[in-house]
Structure 1
């Protein structure tokens, strides 16, 4: 997607990243790639992008550093309202990866439906946390939620 209000780069603070399995690392890379390829990202008060976003965790809060042409702003967001959905999403992702290793197609599909439902719930919670700071569409919120989970995961 091209346009003035979009992300052109997303970085995760390496110091914030916990160790990761191959599946988790793959999810991080895919989420960043997909996010940069197609997104809608409009910071409040910004005249136009594109923007660069750096995400990190600071004392269990999400730090978002946004820069763009004539725009630079940071936000520190409490993740307390997202803790339950993050924890549930990470647990079901673990179940999904385990199911891929030897469950039937119907079991994998069942776990995947739950995973997608929690992912959508997390995206809506992410949009709510960003309200008044950054306007994003649903798909952008989903990818941001994936990255928050990647930062949150503890190994």
Structure 2
């Protein structure tokens, strides 16, 4: 990796993620999914907003007035820029994702076969990938992020939508 690449890897990333402190998620499974997504994001991510000073960044992620808000902050938590995305393009994926996650949780709770659980999980991963692709597309030209970062952010978007 070049020196410039090494600097970008340590600065063009999220170092903090803030979510609203609303009511808890509807199940321990959903809460664990959200907690794991945040931990994975903080461990490894690429988040490179166009036209902003070098990071690392903080991200306050919320849904406000039916819109997804990426409130990007500097290391001292000072606001830098807010990106607002319509939720409409995400709604079908979020609804389908919640249905599949509910099916997965029910299958695990009821002791379904491993093959049944794996089949449901494959569907969940497919929806997760589709959501990540949509997020990358919707943020194109505004924020560069890698696919794994987009997947984890999509998990958080789904968690936020559960709270509404």
- Shorter-normalised TM range: over 0.9
1:55-83 deviation line (CA, Å, top 9, x unaligned):
11112211111012687001111010111
Instruction: Report the counterpart of residue 116 of structure 1 in structure 2.
Output: 125
Q: Quick check: 1:8 aligned with 2:4?
A: no
Runs of 4+ in 1 over 3 A off after TM superposition: none
Q: Quick check: 1:54 aligned with 2:63?
A: no
What TM-score, normalized by structure 1, do the two folds share?
A: 0.92
The 5 Å alignment of 1:29-48 reads 29-48=35-54
| Higher Cα Rg, which structure | 2
Unpaired stretches in structure 2, ≥5 consecutive residues: 1-5
RMSD between aligned residues: 1.9
1:5-49 deviation line (CA, Å, top 9, x unaligned):
00000010124x564211111111111110011000000112311
Instruction: Report the counterpart of residue 66 of structure 1 in structure 2.
Output: 72
Question: Using the alignment, how far apart are the partners of 2:158 and 2:106 within structure 1?
Answer: 18
Residues matched between the structures, number: 154
Structure 2 counterpart SS, 1:113: helix
Unpaired stretches in structure 1, ≥5 consecutive residues: none
1:83-131 deviation line (CA, Å, top 9, x unaligned):
1111111110100111111100110011011111111001001111111
What TM-score, normalized by structure 2, do the two folds share?
A: 0.88
